[in-house]
Amino acid sequence: MTKRQTWSIHIVALGNEGDTFHQDNRPSGLIRTYLGRSPLVSGDESSLLLNAASTVARPVFTEYQASAFGNVKLVVHDCPVWDIFDSDWYTSRNLIGGADIIVIKYNVNDKFSFHEVKDNYIPVIKRALNSVPVIIAAVGTRQNEELPCTCPLCTSDRGSCVSTTEGIQLAKELGATYLEL
CB contact at 8 A, 106 and 139: yes
Let me know the angle formed at the C-alpha of 118 by 113 and 123, rounded to the nearest 5 degrees.
135
How many domains, the chain?
1
CA distance 53 to 142: 40
CB contact at 8 A, 132 and 101: yes
pLDDT given at position 53: 41
Q: Left, alpha or beta for 36 (phi > 0: left; psi -120 to 50: alpha)? A: left
Q: pLDDT tens for residues 15-48?
A: 877 764 444 444 447 776 666 655 554 544 444 4
Q: Is 107 inside any structural domain?
A: yes
pLDDT given at position 171: 95
**Residues forming beta bridges with residue 45, ordered by sequence position:** none
Q: pLDDT tens for residues 43-68?
A: 444 444 333 444 444 556 788 888 88
| Cα dist from 157 to 19, 58, 70, 119, 120, whole Å | 16, 31, 47, 16, 18
Q: Left, alpha or beta for 131 (phi > 0: left; psi -120 to 50: alpha)? A: alpha
Q: pLDDT tens for residues 122-164?
A: 887 787 777 889 999 998 887 765 555 666 655 555 457 899 9
Q: What is the pTM of this model?
A: 0.74
Q: Is 111 inside any structural domain?
A: yes
Q: Is 134 inside any structural domain?
A: yes
Q: Is 75 inside any structural domain?
A: yes
Q: pLDDT tens for residues 68-113?
A: 888 888 888 888 777 667 777 777 778 888 899 999 999 999 888 8
Q: Is 61 inside any structural domain?
A: yes
Q: What is the CATH number of the domain that holds 33?
A: 3.40.50.300
Q: Is 2 inside any structural domain?
A: no
pLDDT given at position 84: 66
Q: Which domain holds residue 151?
A: 7-180
Q: Is 1 inside any structural domain?
A: no
Q: Is 40 inside any structural domain?
A: yes
